[in-house]
Amino acid sequence: MVKNKLILFLILFQLYAFSQNANLIIVEFKDKGVDNNSSIDAPINDTYIDTISKLNLHFINASKWLNTAIFKYEDIDVIDKIKTFSFVQKLSFGCINEMPNGRLNQEKDKFNAESISEQTEEFDKNYYLDQIIQLKGDFLQEKNLKGQSIKIAVIDNGFPKSNEIEGLQHIYYENRLMATYDYYGNNSNVYFSSSSSHGTKCFSIIGGQLDNFSGSAPKAAFYLYRTEVDAIEGQTEEILMSKALEDAVDAGVQVVNISLGYGDGFNDGTSNHTYEELNGKGTLAAKAVNIASSKGLLVCISAGNEGNSSWKYLTTPADADSAFTIGAINSYNEIAKFSSINFPNNNNIKPNVVALGVGVSILNETNGISTGSGTSFASPIIAGLAACLWQAFPNKTNWEIKTAIEQSADKFYNPDKSYGYGLPNFEKAYHLLSLPAFNEGEILKVFPNPSSEIINIYLNNENIQSIYLSNYLGQIIYQQQFNSISTTQNYSFSIKDLPNAFYILQIKTNHSKHSKIILKQ
């Protein structure tokens, strides 16, 4: 016991010396304390907060979902006093110091020390649309699907000068900046100068709009939430993230972008995550993301930039079961070396999909256009286009939107731990969501018929095993076979290059065979 107390004292002393003038303590409560209400949406008991605050601690913030609060303290002796309270489940530490953030899933020196490069010369407009065209997102924008009526929250480390950058002013002029909040400072100022403009860059990738630049959802409404603190790297920020997600749910937000992640880079070194904790539900951040997803949010999260580091794998909350995790590729559709990969023993498909993360166009603080690299910049591309897709199908759920994007990707039938399901095709995702509902008892739909370009196959409660398209001579001109464990119930293929004529479509499922005559015209 004496030895344990000595170790605890040494840890606390180190934290105290390292933090210069303050420490943070994280308190997890046993219950909500009100009529045995165990609902995650029940507020934290005010009496618990007040009791701890009376020990001369300053309350910072709290998450009702995690039933956890953050306090700032100066007297080490209060630790033992807090432990005596019957309503306290667990204590952990987060310390303030002068170190910069260690786990922004953005530009990493281990990838490229100068991953943000200023561009001064003029480029063709399509240069800035490459990151959208690569995903066939221009199909959505040509339909004027640019995020209108969709609410997007960007959770990041602050948004300096985003209220001054020319390419973001349309959001402010049109009153589409719905709310801002700094969860550590407990105020609405997210614009102050910080060590990084990371959040501003991510915001611009979604919402930016200039003559030669288009974000992925420039007409959406936005919420800017600051949960990262320059002087902190630890579980404190995971709790602040959870609080921001709670507020996003309350505000009716549909899509969230989180280009942040946590692994083994915490300041105090005593609360670093382990590989075992990143199991999809083990960390505070992962728990919060899973809860947010269960409440209807589509939470897009950058996979992390650890692919060529000693950590190598996903950071949290990218590991969360319900997270829509985004990896990074280059303009040749090759996986970026820095893009974090899934853990060997994790059977969930992570990352879920990939997007451009090398040489991504962003707006900079001098009203110009720069390029940057990192999974941080891949995630907001997907978040914005997902919002545009959801705009077209407002009655779909977050899970249906996510699934359609995954099914549209080029590796959907052969996913791996680097690409996940691969590169999405938002035109295909749009058509998948457009599939008509079945009438009672109906098994197969083939449409449009006649068609000039695309044939869509849609099955009800049966899985496709093979598809054959033959001409009037019986010659097979297209075929596709699926493995025995396939659960594919819809499929699309192009007939654009075929001559105008009648064709015979034969489909074998796990239960039956079907034939349809289709007309190419």
Residue 101 has pLDDT above 60, yes or no: no
Which pLDDT band, with edges at 50, 70 and 90, does 97 fall under?
A: very low
Beta bridge partners of 355: 328
CA angle 57, 63, 69 (to 5 degrees): 20
Give 453's pLDDT tier (boundaries 50, 70, 90).
confident
Q: What are phi and psi of 8, to 5 degrees?
A: -60, -40
Q: Is residue 41 very low, low, confident or very high in pLDDT (cuts 50, 70, 90)?
A: very high
Percent of all residues in the chain with a pLDDT value above 90, rounded to a whole number: 60
Question: What pLDDT score does 1 carry?
Answer: 40
C-beta atoms surrounding 316 within 10 Å: 27
More confident residue, 494 or 4: 494
- What separation in angstroms does the CA of 127 have from each of 132, 212, 370? 10, 8, 12
Higher pLDDT, 120 or 479: 479
Would you state the pLDDT for residue 440? 65
What are the pLDDT digits (tens) for 324-336? 999 999 999 999 9
Beta bridge partners of 492: 456
> What's residue 326's pLDDT?
98
Residue from 190, 148, 193 nearest 171 by CA: 148
| pLDDT of 88 strictly over 90 | yes
373-402 residue pLDDT tens: 999 999 999 999 999 999 999 999 999 899
| 426/433: higher pLDDT | 426
pLDDT of residue 119: 40
Please state the rounded mean pLDDT for residues 254-276: 80
CB atoms within 10 A of CB 475: 8
pLDDT at 14: 40
pLDDT in tens, 304-320: 999 999 899 999 999 99
Once rounded to an integer, what is the mean pLDDT over residues 37-47?
A: 89
3-state SS class at 300: strand
pLDDT confidence bin for 366, thresholds 50/70/90: confident
**pLDDT over 60 at 106, yes or no:** no
Per-residue pLDDT at 194: 60
**Which amino acid is present at 135?**
L
Confidence of residue 53 (pLDDT cuts 50, 70, 90): very high
Place of tokens 């699907």: 145
Residue 130: CB partners within 8 Å, gap ≥ 6?
331, 356, 361
Domains, the chain, in order of start with CATH, read 19-95 (3.30.70.80), 117-433 (3.40.50.200), 444-520 (2.60.40.3080)
Task: Specify the pLDDT at position 320.
Answer: 96
**Which of 63-72, 283-292, 504-513 bottoms out in mean pLDDT, i.e. has the lowest?**
504-513
**Chain center to CA of 283:** 16
Mean of all residue pLDDT scores within the chain: 85
258: which strand partners? 155, 301
pLDDT of residue 499: 83
- As a whole number, mean pLDDT of residues 195-206 equals 90
Distance separating alpha carbons of residues 92 and 238, to the nearest angstrom: 13
| 241 secondary structure, DSSP code | H
**Are 431 and 456 a contacting pair, CB within 8 Å?**
yes
The pLDDT of 225-234, averaged and rounded, is: 82
**Cα(177)–Cα(200) distance, rounded to whole angstroms?**
13
pLDDT at residue 380, rounded to an integer: 98
Give the CA distances from residue 298 to residues 49, 293, 400, 405, 514, in Å, rounded to whole numbers and listed in that order: 31, 6, 10, 12, 37
**Cβ-count burial 241-258 (b if 16+ within 10 Å, e if not):** bbbbbbbbbeeebbbbbb
pLDDT at 77: 85
Q: Residues 156-161: what's their mean pLDDT?
A: 93
**Higher per-residue confidence, 181 vs 345:** 181
**How sure is the predictor about 270, in pLDDT bands with cuts at 50, 70 and 90?**
low
State percent of the chain over pLDDT 70. 85
What's the CA gap between 354 and 309, in Å, rounded?
Answer: 19
Tokens of 115: 């991953």
Q: How far apart, in whole angstroms, are the C-alpha atoms of residue 266 and residue 102?
A: 7
Residue found by looking up tokens 């093979």 in the block = 466
Give the highest mean pLDDT range of 3-7, 65-69, 76-80, 109-113. 65-69
Per-residue confidence (pLDDT) for residue 219, from 0 to 100: 98
Residues 6+ apart with CB under 8 A from 55: 73, 75, 78, 81, 82
Q: What's the confidence (pLDDT) of residue 291?
A: 97
